[in-house]
Structure 1
């Protein structure tokens, strides 16, 4: 029911937003705008071609295509009828690199980011996502990043946005009534409003004043946020103390009528090797950073290990607090193991927290373990499970799965870092709509998407014009909220006082004992077989409790009374003619009653007329840090899943819903014995292939006696200076003689000009370091040159666990620019040290760390 949405004017707002938003017109047969590449404004270094090096490239439209090499811009203008979101795409070919070629998109002078054009030897379409265009004329420009691609045409069309209809089905079928009621409300709000939120400081900060940010908001806007962010970090086996978090959560929900969300900055001992289970550890000797501990995350999911036992202790402490909340009827938007992927990557190379140190597969096992322990072992059913995602190409590999995630969150910090508009010192009020819809696509629109942390809150204008349907926002505490460098007070006031934003005073009664009597249905789940002989109507009995049935919906589509279903008294028959037309899988039907909570009927649609998939065989080859599988086609199969086991371990899924007959595993670790199998599936079931055993081998990361951490001090794409900040850490058990060590930073020189280097600062002393530019005999993608750092005898040695830092600058002697984008060792994001395998390190000329390009 939508009668508990914000206020009467909300309906008018929703209508005005709907008609003010650009959507696909009915019966649109052609795109809004298409331009041939040769008709755009081309910079002088581009040319129109019909062949490349004498080889024709047939299939282009118009008189030819634009050949972009390593520089140049393609510019055109488009006039649109209204401000809103539009889809921008190009018809292209890119034959140079299987790793992709990066290009930059600018709209009306504002950089919209870099996009990797996939390898394509035939004319293909690449989408730049949904972008905001202003009513009237807009200028769109594509600029070469790594270049080397052919562009046939460009298209701008109305955005076909997801309808943002999510069913209120929680992954935990035993969820408490308060938790289900909250989920029902959230799905009603989603796409129509944004809920205001604010993170509180934890651990007794603000001199013990946990209300500081909340009173500041109220004094500014006259309103309080509806959602309050908490953290369970102080309930831990090491230094934990009672900071009142649980009691504040009960007060916020039960006495103040708010919604609670919580993260879990659970720490581990820095020296886990010496730690004894149950031992008290000072907070200064605990950490959640992967680079500050020798805790082995991979062991955390292996029963019997000390790491596993420690995590179980931590889960026990957490469960004790969650049980108190459950006993007090408090549901929680629970966000554990957040921001896992960090700076990106599959193997934990970009991790900011220990729980992601071992990579995506172990992370998902850790999530599964926590979910199972809390719901099954501890019987906790007051949680709405919220997963923190990113939008890197590797991000889908970290997703724990629809069966253990209720909501997807994104943490927006782009006012100081990661902004594309070239501004600084002012709030970034962008609604990051393209990011939002990428996260919607992560689950095919089946999960809620929220801004679970942020610095600057997007402006009301950007949120509504772009239909950026974030469920809620939640600024971090302190300056992230209260400094005008992060949030303009006027913007916050406009948001909090608008009809689009829901504040604390506008929340409905989310307690089960609300005065409205809910209707109910029996059963709540059913199955339907499409096999003709087995088809039958589904009969549902209603307990009305004074309500009336208004209709039945499948998502946003209403079923037709008398055709799709019939009603006789309190009995409803869902007709087999309607069910036969539904796709295989689960169809959720919402019974819309005149008041109260609308119950859901989950119908499992199967078809037993389909034969099981036939037998299949699999073979494979092992390479350097990867394996490739090839299998025979299985009769009747509609998709394939790849499963992998390390040695005699359990099988876990690597990829699913594959339709081809080959797969490359790029997450394999050299020297590890893997067992692979392929599972063929259709609606009738699955068939498993024979097992193939593969062991990849080659030159990959070896932690050896040390590791390299790095971030780029200058992250500008085009710059006259390359400025890596480097740290070498002795991970061995004996002293490391630095004079035996060499470090290499890889990049493309871009122009054959003299270069110079400077050590601005070094722990070992700048004068005790050597440096050399080396041209690679065989250039690789992103690297034709490396700079080699050496140490003299005077540089000394590193004790076990010690580190040494280097601040380096590289420049051409004429100070012309390098293009850093795409350089192998370059890190475009991040401002603090992370383990960096794209630099290599050697001891006695033997590779100890990193992956050579």
Structure 2
């Protein structure tokens, strides 16, 4: 694995002596020099004990604390690239979908669309607790195998140095239905809070997550750190926890109880807690309307597909990234573009002309960007032979972007 992370002495000397950046080829859409200037670096804590004081969980594992520290450090100069279900499913060059669920008990764990095209795994692997802590029928094929598959892929990602993040498309715990409001239009938030008639149902789901989290043991014998991102895109109305279906106070209480129960009652020590609305804000005040508080959040983020569609001018997305980044820097948080992408990549140069341009439009400190999971009817990274393949390679080769072959050791202090 290449490790070019903050080799400050060598890197800066080389930069000043040659006047050039690293050997990666620049992309076509350069930004202005005034936009290229970095935000000043901050002097942060330098010991694990000091780092843990900044975390939601002061008793987090050493590897989890190191991950938090390195997420912030890498964001000073680079951004990590991530892919949802990166080694779980994807699209072959013939347009046919592959999925590891179909290959049990032998799981093709080495397969990755990103690796097939670029030769490298993504730095960040997205997963979901949907079929681990949810309400699908026991005979459902995903429900039957999801836990073992997800555990295996998560551990393997950690073993190769990757970062794991889990969202939670949680089925409605009152109706035992889908996570989409249109499919399960029953108000649930108030009823799963302490004192509610379905509070014990919710606690059982959290207990399932806690047991799973404690089962994630790498080959080094350590707990695998996870960035846990519950109840995302809450500023929309499409999920049962969305803004139209609960009050501001109820949403905050739900997030806070989730953290407290996992951390204080169930003893989960390998979670960083992430919080991310969709793109429905233009100011910091709007962004923070349902923020549960610094004591409950390690990583602030944003999901944004709508401002980054084909042909986007990117300024709106860039300004929202800046709001997220500025808050993170000011409050000692990590930050990320937690979901984005262009379905089926109808714009062949989307990665460099839209995504990269937005990320570099103005100085921001985002630790990673994650695009969504690929399947044959909706893919978010190109397959071999797709018109976007060349552009994706240019994106990968840009010095700002880190894939797995260039990322630092995220689980030790440098």
Does TM-score exceed 0.5, indicating one fold?
yes
1:5 match = 5
1:366 match = 254
Deviations 1:519-548 (A, max 9, x none): xxxxxxxxxxxxxxxxxxxxxxxxxxxxxx
Partners of 1:328 and 1:473 in 2: CA distance: 26
Deviations 1:660-688 (A, max 9, x none): xxxxxxxxxxxxxxxxxxxxxxxxxxxxx
TM-score by length of 2: 0.72
Identify if the C-alpha distance between structure 1 residues 440 and 164 changes in structure 2 by more than 3 Å, giving closer, same or farther: farther
Alpha-carbon distance, 1:163 to partner: 3.4
2:63 match = 178
Alpha-carbon distance, 1:460 to partner: 4.1
For residue 210 of structure 2, the aligned residue among 296, 311, 319 is 319
1:498 match = 398
Larger relative contact order (Cα-Cα within 8 Å, sequence gap ≥ 6): 2
Alpha-carbon distance, 1:322 to partner: 0.9
Deviations 1:87-115 (A, max 9, x none): xxxxxxxxxxxxxxxxxxxxxxxxxxxxx
The answer to whether residue 169 in structure 2 is matched with residue 265 in structure 1 is yes
Deviations 1:720-774 (A, max 9, x none): xxxxxxxxxxxxxxxxxxxxxxxxxxxxxxxxxxxxxxxxxxxxxxxxxxxxxxx
Identify if the C-alpha distance between structure 1 residues 468 and 490 changes in structure 2 by more than 3 Å, giving closer, same or farther: farther
The two structures, once aligned, show a CA RMSD in angstroms of 3.5
2:150 match = 245
8 Å contact from structure 2 (residues 325, 365) kept in 1: no
For residue 297 of structure 2, the aligned residue among 399, 405, 412 is 405
Matched residue of 2:408: which SS?
A: coil
Listed as ranges, the matches of 1:205-284 within 5 Å are 206-209=97-100, 215-236=112-133, 238-239=135-136, 240-243=143-146, 244-254=149-159, 256-268=160-172, 272=175
Alpha-carbon distance, 1:266 to partner: 1.1
Q: Which has the larger radius of gyration?
A: 1
Partners of 2:132 and 2:153 in 1: CA distance: 14
Partners of 2:358 and 2:207 in 1: CA distance: 43
Deviations 1:381-439 (A, max 9, x none): 1111111034245331211111111111111203xxx46xxxx7x46483732111112
Deviations 1:41-91 (A, max 9, x none): xxxxxxxxxxxxxxxxxxxxxxxxxxxxxxxxxxxxxxxx95544xxxxxx
Identify if the C-alpha distance between structure 1 residues 202 and 185 changes in structure 2 by more than 3 Å, giving closer, same or farther: closer
1:290 match = 181
8 Å contact from structure 1 (residues 83, 465) kept in 2: no
8 Å contact from structure 1 (residues 427, 487) kept in 2: no
| More helix per residue | 2
Identify if the C-alpha distance between structure 1 residues 222 and 261 changes in structure 2 by more than 3 Å, giving closer, same or farther: same
Identify if the C-alpha distance between structure 1 residues 481 and 428 changes in structure 2 by more than 3 Å, giving closer, same or farther: farther
Partners of 2:134 and 2:112 in 1: CA distance: 33
Alpha-carbon distance, 1:297 to partner: 1.7
Matched residue of 1:397: which SS?
A: coil
1:471 match = 367
For residue 383 of structure 1, the aligned residue among 271, 283, 304 is 271
Alpha-carbon distance, 1:162 to partner: 5.2
The answer to whether residue 81 in structure 2 is matched with residue 196 in structure 1 is yes
Partners of 1:202 and 1:217 in 2: CA distance: 9
Partners of 2:265 and 2:300 in 1: CA distance: 25
8 Å contact from structure 1 (residues 213, 477) kept in 2: no
1:449 match = 335
Partners of 1:429 and 1:335 in 2: CA distance: 28
8 Å contact from structure 1 (residues 196, 225) kept in 2: yes
For residue 339 of structure 1, the aligned residue among 220, 233, 238 is 233
Deviations 1:431-450 (A, max 9, x none): 73211111234456222221
Matched residue of 1:473: which SS?
A: strand
Partners of 1:220 and 1:370 in 2: CA distance: 39
Deviations 1:321-352 (A, max 9, x none): 1111267420011111111112xxxxxxxx22
8 Å contact from structure 2 (residues 86, 114) kept in 1: no
Identify if the C-alpha distance between structure 1 residues 444 and 198 changes in structure 2 by more than 3 Å, giving closer, same or farther: closer
| More strand per residue | 1
Matched residue of 1:354: which SS?
A: coil
The answer to whether residue 381 in structure 2 is matched with residue 482 in structure 1 is yes
Identify if the C-alpha distance between structure 1 residues 441 and 182 changes in structure 2 by more than 3 Å, giving closer, same or farther: closer
